[in-house]
């Protein structure tokens, strides 16, 4: 009888896991499709963090193909310059790159303000002719704000918990992955509320599907998911929120780039091929 109970428990656990996995993947895909494919983003202002490579870079290209105005943010200027140039080639009316570190609150404030300032306050003149024998020039102020915020910047500490000599070396996981998203959202909130905009959060399936050596990365992504699920209730209909939890995608991480236990970014081909 005990064997039957254990067997049934194992079957139910596996069934629930498979269902949950497919359900989260389905809901993520639906949310992404709604935010990127159904909405007309032509001419809208989209701010993307972590846009120098990987998911952030390719999300920028998708927005560009749909005619969005882009502000791409990351720490690597040479890569950002290339991404912005490609965006304009493939369809963005204008793409600006802004160097910034999402782990620094002041940088987040600066790149949000720089985005609004750059796309700025436009004045569109409209001339009416022959009205009572006079010509009139009417000027309307069109306030440009942030329509979409894509919080994507992230770093991946890869290390067994017991192997850390200094546990504080894992802190960039929370500083970049979690607080970087929070800071960006905090400073963009007012602009997004005005535009009835959206926040697209690039989290990870590791936020609910766990693996060895990714404890701090998983914890940071779980925090991101919980935070924005809460904001979904707080914001109500003022700002839309889409939380994306990708699985394994070819990025610099899958190429072996990770944060070592000494808090240094390293490229390890063996990790990629292992």
Position 269 pLDDT exceeds 50: no
Q: Is residue 150 part of a domain?
A: yes
Question: Of the given ranges (128-137, 170-179, 182-191), which has the lowest mean pLDDT?
Answer: 128-137
Comparing 175 with 132, the larger pLDDT belongs to 175
251's tokens = 């990025």
Assess if residue 6 is contained within a domain.
Answer: no
Single out the catalytic residue among 61, 183, 189, 217.
Answer: 217
* Residue range of the domain that includes 228: 27-273
Active site residue 186: no
CATH code: domain of residue 139: 3.40.50.720
State the pLDDT at residue 225: 95
What percent of the chain clears pLDDT 70, i.e. is strictly above it? Answer: 67
**Residue 22 placed within a domain:** no
- Residue 11: inside a domain, yes or no? no
In a domain, 17, yes or no: no
Q: How far is CA 223 from CA 157, 181, 182, 190, 239, in A?
A: 15, 11, 11, 23, 20
* Mean pLDDT of the 13-20 span: 57
CB 151 within 8 A of CB 201: yes
- CB of 156 within 8 A of CB of 253? yes
**Is 16 part of a structural domain of the chain?**
no
Would you say residue 118 has pLDDT above 70?
yes
CA distances from 238 to 115, 211, 241 (A): 21, 36, 10
Q: Of 25-39, 111-125, 212-226, which one has max mean pLDDT?
A: 212-226
Q: Is residue 13 a part of any domain in this protein? A: no
Domain assignment present for residue 179? The answer is yes
Q: Which residues pair with 39 in a beta bridge?
A: none
User: Which tokens sit at 153?
Assistant: 């910047």
pLDDT digit string, tens, across residues 30-83: 565 555 557 899 999 999 999 998 899 999 999 999 999 999 999 999 999 999
Number of structural domains the chain divides into: 1
Token pair 């404890």 is found at: 215
Q: Is the pLDDT of residue 139 over 60?
A: no
Best CA proximity match to 244, nearest among 50, 41, 15 = 50
- Tell me the helix, strand and coil percentages in the chain, rounded to 5: 50, 20, 30
- Percent of the chain clearing pLDDT 90 (strictly above): 50
pLDDT tier, 133 (very low <50, low <70, confident <90, very high otherwise): low
Contact 150, 202 (CB under 8 A): yes
pLDDT at position 167? 80
What is the band of 250 on the pLDDT scale with cuts at 50, 70, 90? low
pLDDT confidence of residue 160: 73
Which has the higher per-residue pLDDT, 231 or 213?
231
Residue 141 has pLDDT above 80, yes or no: no
Whether pLDDT at 22 is above 90: no
Lowest mean pLDDT among 113-117, 119-123, 151-155: 119-123
pLDDT score of 138: 46
CB 163 within 8 A of CB 261: yes
């Amino acid at each position: 009888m005990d064997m039957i109970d254990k067997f049934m428990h194992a079957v139910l656990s596996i069934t629930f896991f498979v269902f949950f996995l497919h359900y989260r993947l389905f809901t993520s895909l639906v949310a992404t499709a709604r935010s990127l494919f159904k909405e007309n983003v032509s001419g809208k202002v989209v701010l993307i963090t972590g846009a120098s490579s990987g998911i952030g870079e390719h999300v920028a290209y998708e927005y560009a193909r749909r005619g969005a105005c882009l502000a791409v943010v990351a720490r690597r200027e040479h890569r950002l310059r290339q991404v912005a140039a490609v965006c304009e080639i493939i369809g963005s009316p204008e793409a600006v790159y802004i160097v910034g570190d999402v782990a620094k609150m002041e940088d987040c404030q600066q790149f949000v303000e720089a985005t609004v300032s750059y796309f700025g306050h436009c004045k569109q003149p409209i001339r009416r002719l022959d009205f009572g024998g006079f010509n009139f020039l009417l000027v309307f102020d069109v306030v440009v704000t942030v329509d979409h915020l894509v919080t994507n910047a992230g770093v991946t500490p890869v290390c067994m918990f017991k192997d850390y000599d200094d546990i504080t070396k894992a802190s960039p996981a929370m500083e970049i992955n979690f607080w970087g998203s929070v800071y960006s959202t905090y400073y963009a909130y007012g602009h997004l509320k005005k535009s009835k905009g959206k926040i697209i959060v690039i989290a990870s399936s590791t936020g609910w599907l766990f693996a060895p050596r990714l404890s701090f990365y998983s914890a940071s992504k779980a925090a991101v998911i919980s935070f924005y699920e809460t904001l979904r209730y707080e914001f109500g209909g003022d700002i839309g929120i889409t939380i994306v939890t990708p699985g394994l995608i070819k990025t610099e991480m899958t190429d072996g780039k990770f944060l070592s236990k000494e808090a240094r970014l390293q490229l390890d081909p063996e990790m990629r091929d292992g």
